A = this chain, B = another copy of it.
């Protein structure tokens, strides 16, 4: 992986995340990355290929983020950690997650399965805690952390920090 290839990826992530995939011309991307336009296509064949390269990390990063939750055995802790998830995203990965959410709404790229393991883990946790409708509880909590994540990525961490403690209290954890 050469320096220039890295620079292309970094710049693409930043621009795609802030302006949207379609709104970014390879033209401008190349200029901002300090690279010739041709090089993008040498390395990634397509503009789509560049996006894919960016998204390939998704698996890994999601694993990194969700892994600890999935490994946890104490059901209360599973729920608590899930609530804490959006607040534990490293600032350095904000653009990556912004891109994820942008694409989710741009259609084509939405993959609901991505969250399935977490959803199942949550269901099991709510079941262990003897909630009446563990699956529905899991769905709703998933909705909440989804919206909280969106808010944090949009407004910054501070404006949403109170929600962490509130949710933890609300779920009596």
Interface residues, chain A, with chain B CB atoms under 8 Å away:
18-20, 22-23, 101-102, 105-107, 110, 132-133, 136-137, 139-140, 143-144, 146-148, 151, 154, 162-163, 166-167, 169-170
Contacts and interface: CB of A to CB of B under 8 A. Distances in A.
This protein's copies in its complex: 4
A152 to B, nearest CB: 12
Given A102-B105, A105-B105, A143-B143, 17 more contacts: A18-B107, A20-B106, A20-B107, A22-B22, A105-B106, A110-B154, A132-B169, A136-B163, A137-B170, A140-B144, A140-B166, A140-B170, A143-B147, A143-B148, A143-B151, A144-B144, A146-B147
A101 B136 CA distance: 24
